[in-house]
Chains A and B, each alone.
Chain A
Amino acid sequence: MKTTLPEVLAPAGSLEKLKVAVLYGANAVYAGGQKFGLRTAADNFTLDELREGMDFAHARGSKVYVVLNSFLHDKDLAELPDFVRFLEEIGADAVIVSDLGVVRTVRALSKIPVHVSTQASTLNVEAAKFWKSMGATRIVLGREVSIKDAGIIRREADIEIEMFIHGSMCMAYSGNCVISNFTQGRDSNRGGCAHSCRFEYTLEDLATKEKKSAFFMSSKDLQGLRLLKDFIDAGIDSLKIEGRMKSHLYAGTMSKVYSEALRYYEEHGDFLSDDLLNWEKELSKVSHRSYTEASLENPAGAESIFNERENNSAAEWKMVGTVLKSSPESGIVIEVRNAFNQGDELEILPFRGSPVTVVAHEIMDLTRKTILRTKPTTIVRLPYHAGINSSQLVRQKSV
């Protein structure tokens, strides 16, 4: 019997990131419009961009889910119907919703499938049954649920299940933190989260009067690569990567690694590959906090706390640019984000397969004048290299 593999669902914080994620293998992406989502500070999509992103993804066999997962207030909800009708018109594959009022509104206006957001903290079979009875077709489980329990929920509630496999994590039950609301006047559940959990706190134990300083509410990042087989065996439908605010390199690397790993499984029926180490190396090349498997196997314990200041997060590699064009005539044309020098070793991430190492023996500017060092926000040419295509990401090991 052929095993059905879960989809890789990648974040798309902008139209460019959507294209990157799809090209690097994401089976689906999730994106937000200018309203109704939880990433107010992200670029997000205009209506034109949503339409273009939908067409781009669909043309390549990928799906697009649109987030409506704010806890909408009445005035927000009043603005929702026009947007829902628009989403149905452009063929959105689903909307991601955390509020019952939004579920009811979407259901009343359209046939767009409804996925219940992790913000709703759905944690058990009965909760999944409830949302199913409200018309939901998929549950994005709370990050506190183990893979084993997720499989039980999948079977007993008979509904599609999506689980986070990678990315930053709320320490609180999602949707159950209002620190920003009451301390900074910013509604964390409408996109205004101030990330108060990432700061250091001095804590006085009231019994011992002892004081200690700690980042006690900050969670390590989730990384579930080694548990892929468990996700598959549990019948999980979708593996979600957090991070709409994160970089193009992040969107591309995550989409590539997880989709390649699943393709390997499809071909070999296991993950017993040297590639596993390579995939893990790839995941470590993007900026991240220390990794944890959190509650995927057992409830997250003390080891899941990221008791460090944020800027200590690891970033072994930096993104130096994006390939804009690659042909024998043009050479490899790169939009430079971080400077590099003549002679530097760069890696270009192909959409499939191992990174291609390119040494910048010769760098030219757009007018074909030779230069020794690039500058950010410029466009340069490297000599043509077969197999390199536009939209591929260029990275360099951090010094």
Chain B
Amino acid sequence: MKLTGFAENLHELSLLKENGTEEVILGMRAFSRFGRLDENTFFPMVKRARELGLRIIFEWDILMTEESFKKTVADISPFLDVADAVRVQDPGAYHWAIQQTKKPLQFVAENGNHNIEALLGWCHAGAGRIERIILSIELSRDSILDYCQKLPVPAELLGLGRILLFYSPRSLLSPLNPERETVNEDIHALGESEESPHKGFPVLENRHGTFMFHIKEFCLLDYASDLKSLGLSFLRIDQRFNERNFFPEAAKTANREKMFESFREEYPQELMRGFYHVNKSDVLFPKLKNMRLQNRSGDYLGEVLEAEKGSHLAILVKNLRGIRVGDKFRIVHPKGALFEGEIHSLKDVNMTEQTFIPHDDLAIIPFINGVWVKSQVFLSTTNE
């Protein structure tokens, strides 16, 4: 397993080289969400990277509406031409790069793509040009193992860096400071949500929109050897937001030349491993559902819309077969109590006695003590 990372100046290129990496990811302001290189600084970086023998990965990870896309592809060629590979996330960039360039592609599958079928799809659609898949940090260890075994190309995962929570194309910080004069200046803020006990979400507004990050950084450096054993090919160290670049310390930690505990104490941000052990982000879903509403198949006859004590129950018939005199039923109260009975008397909405009430009509039956509105009526046995 190899380490990879970003460089925004010549010193950081040297740091990468000195710590054993064979490549560098270069991000430019115009094409990368968080890149800060411009055309004046990009080419010297390329030159120096070449001198150091580093492979150049050009990061083009912004999402683009059509107008923005056309402008971007009109400007991108000089920079793309000098890169060894291009890293994309927008499916449009992916498709364009396959059709219009000869560069190897690295596809950022960090957003969704939590199944092997999707990942294989991106590889296969790439017509042999996909050289790497960047996996989501929401994947569990088991999934990473599975994917590394099944993918036809090497996989990469974030080993240390910010967790991007939110990416909007809209400028959301500058409206708070309309007096700001500088256009396109990056704005950095810390956010504190009224809903969350967490404080200090980093928020960034730049020319590509607004981004919010988790208060903690993602870190799997203590699992580096485990990831290697799973078959992961690249571990990415992202230090673009720290004042001091901790790449050397991170590399030593990943290589077990430095104790993780020591690294964690030294590192300026709190760290978390996300869903590495297990992803149970759907475990709360049953609690979000109204379970009473989940039992409406098969023998479900309808719902009690009115319960007039001492008089009647009005049931809206929702079963296509309707309700008949002689049907044996069970009624489930919203709180779970069960009532059983048989239909001896059945009236329609005009309170006229009937032997059958069809689907979508009101069926009026005598009141049953304890049954209340929203109780559900099920067929026990039929009179057919």
Residues on A close to B: CB < 8 A?
Answer: 15, 34, 40-41, 43, 46-49, 52, 71-74, 76-77, 98-105, 119-131, 133-134, 142, 144-146, 149, 152-153, 171-173, 175-179, 181-187, 189-192, 194, 196-197, 199-208, 210, 212, 214, 216-217, 219, 295, 299-302, 304-305, 324-325, 329-330, 333, 335, 365-368, 377-379, 390
Contact = CB atoms under 8 A, between A and B. Distances in A.
7 contacts: A48-B297, A48-B298, A185-B284, A197-B166, A203-B176, A335-B305, A366-B312
Contacts of B293: 43
Contacts of B360: 390
Nearest to A217: B172
Interface of B: 63-69, 90-96, 99, 111-122, 125, 138, 143, 146, 163-178, 187-196, 198, 201, 203, 212, 214, 274, 279-285, 288-290, 293-294, 296-298, 300, 305-306, 308, 311-312, 314, 316, 318, 320, 349-351, 360-362, 364, 373-374
7 A-B pairs with the lowest CB-CB distances in the bound complex, closest first: A101-B118, A101-B117, A127-B92, A126-B92, A302-B175, A71-B112, A187-B281
A303 to B, nearest CB: 9
A72 B168 contact: no
A98 B121 CA distance: 13
B188 A207 contact: yes
Given A124-B66, A217-B166, A130 B290 contact: no
B112 A98 contact: yes
A373 B143 CA distance: 60
A219 B163 CA distance: 23
Nearest to A189: B112
A208 to B, nearest CB: 7
A179 B166 contact: yes
A325 B65 contact: no
Contacts of B170: 171, 219, 299-301, 304-305
Given A149-B66, A185-B280, A301-B170, A133 B113 contact: no
Contacts of A199: 193-195
Nearest to A333: B349
A47 B117 CA distance: 26
Most buried by B among A120, A171, A207, A216: A216
A201 B193 contact: yes
Contacts of B294: 34, 46
Contacts of B68: 124
Contact of B362 (A100, A119, A179, A379): A379
A41 B90 CA distance: 30
Given A176-B167, A335-B305, 8 more contacts: A71-B112, A101-B113, A124-B66, A134-B121, A142-B63, A199-B193, A217-B168, A325-B349
A71 B111 CA distance: 9
A194 B284 CA distance: 12
Contacts of B351: 366-368
Contacts of B121: 100-101, 103-104, 134
Contact of B114 (A74, A129, A146, A183): A74
A377 B191 CA distance: 44
Secondary structure of the B contact surface, majority rule: mixed
A146 B65 contact: yes
A212 B193 CA distance: 12
Given A125-B69, A366-B308, A175 B111 contact: yes
A370 to B, nearest CB: 15
Contact of B90 (A73, A127, A175, A181): A127
A187 to B, nearest CB: 4
Contacts of B96: 126
A168 B350 CA distance: 42
A337 to B, nearest CB: 11
B117 to A, nearest CB: 3
B319 to A, nearest CB: 9
A96 to B, nearest CB: 15
Most buried by A among B164, B170, B177: B170
B93 A126 contact: yes
Contacts of B364: 366
B306 A366 contact: yes
A342 to B, nearest CB: 19
A183 B173 CA distance: 21
Given A205-B189, A216-B173, A333-B362, A123 B92 contact: yes
Contact of B282 (A46, A187, A196, A219): A187
Contacts of A73: 114-115, 143, 279, 282
A46 B116 CA distance: 28
B177 A177 contact: no
A229 to B, nearest CB: 21
Contacts of A47: 297
Given A74-B146, A130-B94, A130-B125, A192 B281 contact: yes
Contacts of B116: 74, 101
Contact of A330 (B189, B279, B350): B350
Given A178-B165, A190-B281, A196-B195, A127 B138 contact: no
B90 A216 contact: no
Contacts of A152: 66
A118 B190 CA distance: 30
A46 B312 CA distance: 29
Contacts of A133: 95, 125
Contacts of B314: 366, 379
Contact of B112 (A175, A182, A379): A175
Nearest to A145: B65
A126 B69 contact: yes
Contacts of A365: 308
Contacts of A74: 114-116, 143, 146
A202 B192 CA distance: 5
A184 B99 CA distance: 41
Nearest to B70: A124
B192 A302 contact: no
Contact of A125 (B92, B125, B174, B306): B92
Contacts of B305: 324, 335, 377, 379
Contact of B284 (A192, A200, A305, A368): A192
Contacts of A122: 91-92
A179 to B, nearest CB: 5
A124 B203 contact: no
Nearest to B117: A101
B231 to A, nearest CB: 17
B289 A100 contact: no
Contacts of A324: 305, 316, 349, 362
A3 B99 CA distance: 34
